[in-house]
Amino acid sequence: MIEIIKDDITNLKVDAIVNAANKSLLGGGGVDGAIHRKAGKELYNYCLKLNGCSTGEAVITPGFNLNAKYIIHTVAPIWYYNEENREELLKKCYVNSLELALKNNVKTIAFPCLGMGVYKVPTDIGCSIAINTCFKYKDKFDKIYLVCFKDLEFNYYKEYLKGLID
Ligand code: AR6
pLDDT digits 0-9 by tens, 142-161: 999 999 999 999 999 998 88
Residue 159 lies in a domain: no
Percent of the chain clearing pLDDT 90 (strictly above): 93
138 Cα to the center of ligand 1, angstroms: 24
Q: Is the pTM of this model over 0.85?
A: yes
Residue span of the structural domain in which 127 resides: 2-152
31 Cα to the center of ligand 1, angstroms: 4
pLDDT at 164 over 90: no
Q: What atom of ligand 1 comes closest to residue 10's alpha carbon?
A: 7
Per-residue pLDDT tens for 2-55? 999 999 999 999 999 999 999 999 999 999 999 999 999 999 999 999 999 999
34 Cα to the center of ligand 1, angstroms: 9
Residue 162 lies in a domain: no
Q: What is the pLDDT of residue 166?
A: 64
Q: How far apart are CA 145 and CA 3, in angstroms?
A: 5
Read off the CATH number of the domain in which 105 is found.
Answer: 3.40.220.10
pLDDT at 165 over 80: no
Q: How far apart are CA 105 and CA 101, in angstroms?
A: 6
pLDDT at 63 over 90: yes
Q: How far apart are CA 121 and CA 143, in angstroms?
A: 25
Q: What is the pLDDT of residue 82?
A: 84
Q: What is the pLDDT of residue 9?
A: 98
Q: What is the pLDDT of residue 136?
A: 96
Mean pLDDT over the full length of the chain: 96
80 Cα to the center of ligand 1, angstroms: 17
Q: Which of 24, 118, 151 to mutate to test the pocket of ligand 1 (most atoms within 8 A of CB)?
A: 118
Residue 54 lies in a domain: yes
Please report, in angstroms and rounded to a whole number, the separation of the first and last CA atoms in the chain.
15
Specify the residue with its C-alpha closest to ligand 1, atom 33.
117
Lowest-confidence range among 63-67, 69-73, 162-166? Answer: 162-166
Specify the residue with its C-alpha closest to ligand 1, atom 9.
31
The number of folded domains in the chain is 1
